[in-house]
Amino acid sequence: MTLLFGRCFTYQKNVAVPDSIKKTKLLTPVDYDNLDNEGLFHGLNYPRILSIVDGIIGWDYFYLDGRGPSTSEDVAKFFTTRYDPDKIIFSVGLWGKKTIVSPEELSNAIHYELRGGARHIWITPNHLISNGHWEKITQNVLTK
């Protein structure tokens, strides 16, 4: 499992850049109500995109959409059973309409994504991650 946290990388001429940074990934919204349309509602086509780029980052912003963390398992299962799981990064958004995702909800979302087959998870945005989030991730995800 890879946990990624948003970072900015600056390319400078004549500086060696690891191949892992050079890969092209496309940020893609998730249509929770119709995953089977493969992004067409948003003007995308996941199979076609994956034939062009190195991977996609699926926006699993369940809380912003008014859903619970268990939704993340369905999202992960959809992507990991149809496409190469190593080409999919799941971006768990901490945003909400009025509040942010709680530490418990975040660790549950990660748990459900892993249960659904996720291999790579990205938590965003960095500035909303608290010590409480880290503690729950460590307690409920990384130590199990």
The distance from CA 1 to its chain's CA centroid, rounded to whole angstroms, is 12
Arithmetic mean of pLDDT over the chain: 85
Report d(CA 62, CA 102) in Å as an integer: 12
Exposure on the CB side of residue 107, measured as CA atoms within 13 A: 17
What are the C-alpha distances in Å from 34 to residues 46, 119, 140? 13, 23, 30
- 50-55-57-60 Cα dihedral, nearest 10 degrees: 60
CB burial class (10 A; 0-12, 13-18, 19+) of residue 62? buried
How would residue 25 be classed by pLDDT, with cut points 50, 70 and 90? Answer: confident
Domain boundaries, the chain: 22-142
Q: What is the pLDDT of residue 69?
A: 96
Say if residues 91 and 27 touch (Cβ distance below 8 Å).
yes
Report d(CA 33, CA 41) in Å as an integer: 11
Task: Calculate mean pLDDT across residues 41-64.
Answer: 91
Say if residues 110 and 137 touch (Cβ distance below 8 Å).
yes
pLDDT at 9 over 80: no
Tens digit of each residue's pLDDT (9 = 90 or more) over 89-117: 999 999 888 899 999 999 999 999 999 99
CATH code for 22-142? 3.20.20.80
